[in-house]
């Protein structure tokens, strides 16, 4: 076989089990598969390992495919695009696994086990009582032909187990970790085919990897303990094990534990874990692509932002760092903010509409034609790191005057002005706003500055009360664009209400 680090073209597969939402760690695995395939001019395959029918969730399958496509990871072969090794859903390949399991039975590399679940539970309980390692005691491996025939005649259900060598060692190679050797006596006779006729991962993945001509298997390091079993299964068939690359664990932001499959709060800050959560939070796919590429691999220590094609050109599985590392969420936020800034205002508006539609409970089509967004989006583009943060900057524009809450009425006071003086500013500005034409930012600002000077008030002192009365916030988008977004009539309604509130302070 050619040097595994430079083999071209490669065939890699992302083979998720659709039993839950796609996790960021799984997305990273798929991304590395995709990068390696594209780098070598090879093939990226999506294979669905759905043999755990008790936990199978069709919504999970839809979600994971949606998550992959969100990141731009289009597969060359898979359940919905077909390919020369279809089908790509394991439950549709059950007959293939049964045939191969029979081959292992015929060769003596596997055997039927008739132990009931109750018997296995009792066995493990006894092992725990004796403080022994738990594991199958190989009772059925040593049945005589007559005993085996008796079990068959009784029609007892059975599973098929791998007959692991009882002596010696098994060595497998990992591309980024080197050779790893395990004593065979430490291994279990794992189940290969369940009593319902469906395979376990140990059989199905090996058969599929061989038949689909997979050259490299990229998977999480939690699969390292099973690699000796997989080497033995491949050897039992007389096949060659694909090049193994066990990817490093992604730790939570504290660096003290494996990243959870649920949201986690660290030092008061919420950290996401599932791909659909990152999508809902408003991370851009290009930003996530850039970020995840550098989790366990590094494009260039001196370059933070790079294009997809640049990453594909440089990617090499041999340069993956096997050491676990904490997920730098702050870096993700920063990268996302850079990609947000690169968008045109029109493109940013398109990205914001699905999120704002849910937050504001306004139909996307209505937001599409909303002039307020056209005005405000360019004003907040430099201020947000995630798309879901936009609502905090513009929600006031989608409320009525009565819905604006002034939690601290003192916010309505102009700089170095008391309540009476601030009321005078608002009344003066209100009269001005009724006549200024056109009602555009530059024209409003020029008129406000002229009136501030005439009243002997600083520009900040004059502007401040208007910012507060229209938004109810300390910090908001630029004042004059905000006035334009609201429109003359709504601004005057809010100013009138602000004057009422200030009147209570005098």
| Residues contacting residue 376 through CB under 8 Å, at least 6 positions apart | 393, 394, 397, 477, 481, 482, 485
3 state SS for 397-446: HHCCHHHCCCCCHHHHCCCCCCHHHHHHHHHHHHHHHCCCCCCCHHHHHH
The question of whether 261 is a catalytic residue gets the answer yes
Q: Which residue has the tokens 């032909």?
A: 145
CA 279 to each of CA 180, 337, 386, 437, 477: distance values in angstroms, whole numbers, following the listed order: 38, 15, 10, 42, 25
Phi/psi-derived region of residue 456, left when phi > 0, alpha when psi is between -120 and 50, beta in every other case = left
Return the closest-CA partner of residue 305 out of 325, 345, 281, 334. 334
Helix (H) or strand (E) holding 454: helix 441-455
What letter does residue 301 receive in the DSSP assignment?
T
| Cβ-based neighbour number of residue 436 at 10 Å | 18
Q: Is 293 helix (H, G, I), strand (E, B) or coil?
A: helix
CB of 192 closer than 8 Å to CB of 200: yes
Q: Out of 131, 231, 261, 323, pick the active-site residue.
A: 261
Rg of the chain (C-alpha set): 32
CA 378 to each of CA 232, 344, 350, 381, 390: distance values in angstroms, whole numbers, following the listed order: 60, 9, 13, 5, 11
Tokens, residue 293: 């590429």
Q: How far is CA 295 from the centre of its chain?
A: 13
Instruction: Report, as residue numbers or ranges, the catalytic residues.
Output: 261
């Amino acid at each position: 076989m050619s040097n595994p680090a430079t083999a071209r073209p490669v065939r890699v597969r992302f083979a998720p089990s659709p039993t839950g939402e796609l996790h960021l760690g799984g997305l990273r695995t798929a991304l590395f598969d995709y990068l390696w395939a594209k780098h070598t001019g090879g093939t990226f395959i999506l294979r669905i390992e759905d043999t755990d029918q008790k936990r199978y969730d069709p919504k999970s399958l839809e979600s994971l495919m949606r998550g992959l496509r969100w990141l731009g990871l289009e597969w060359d072969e898979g359940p919905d695009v077909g390919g020369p090794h279809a089908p790509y859903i394991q439950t549709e390949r059950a007959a293939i696994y049964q045939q191969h399991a029979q081959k292992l039975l015929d060769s003596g590399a596997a055997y039927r086990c008739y132990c009931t679940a109750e018997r296995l539970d009792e066995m493990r309980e006894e092992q725990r009582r004796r403080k022994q390692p738990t594991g199958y005691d190989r009772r059925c491996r040593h049945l005589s032909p007559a005993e085996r025939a008796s079990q068959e005649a009784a029609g007892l259900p059975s599973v098929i187990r791998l007959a692991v060598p009882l002596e010696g060692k098994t060595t497998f190679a990992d591309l980024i970790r080197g050779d790893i050797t395990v004593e065979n006596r430490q291994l279990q006779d794992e189940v290969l085919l369940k009593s319902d006729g469906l395979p376990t991962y140990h059989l199905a993945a090996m058969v599929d990897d061989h038949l689909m001509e997979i050259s490299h298997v990229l998977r999480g390091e939690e699969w390292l303990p099973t690699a000796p079993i997989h080497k033995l299964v491949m050897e039992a068939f007389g096949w060659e094990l694909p090049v193994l690359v066990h990817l490093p664990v992604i730790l939570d932001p504290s660096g003290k534990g494996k990243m959870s499959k649920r949201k986690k709060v660290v030092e008061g800050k919420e950290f996401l874990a599932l791909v659909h959560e990152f999508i809902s939070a408003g991370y851009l796919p290009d930003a996530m692509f850039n970020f995840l590429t550098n989790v366990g691999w590094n494009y260039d220590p001196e370059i933070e932002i790079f294009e997809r094609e640049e990453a594909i050109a440089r990617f090499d599985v041999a340069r993956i760092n096997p050491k676990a590392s904490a997920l730098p969420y702050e870096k993700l936020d920063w990268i996302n903010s850079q990609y947000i800034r690169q968008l045109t205002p029109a493109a940013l508006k398109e990205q914001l509409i699905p999120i704002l539609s849910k937050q504001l409970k306004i139909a996307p089509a209505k937001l599409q034609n909303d002039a307020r967004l056209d005005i405000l989006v360019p004003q907040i583009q430099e201020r947000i790191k995630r798309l879901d943060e936009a609502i905090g900057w513009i929600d006031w524009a989608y409320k009525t005057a009565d819905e604006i809450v002034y939690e601290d009425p003192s916010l309505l006071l102009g700089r170095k002005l008391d309540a009476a003086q601030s009321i005078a500013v608002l009344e003066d500005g209100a009269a001005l706003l009724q006549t200024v034409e056109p009602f555009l930012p530059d024209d409003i600002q020029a008129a406000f500055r002229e009136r501030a000077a005439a009243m002997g008030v600083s520009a900040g002192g004059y502007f401040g009360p208007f910012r507060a009365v229209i938004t109810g916030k300390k910090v908001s988008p630029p004042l004059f664009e905000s006035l334009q977004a609201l429109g003359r009539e709504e601004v005057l309604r809010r100013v009138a209400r602000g004057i009422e509130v200030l009147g209570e302070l005098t």
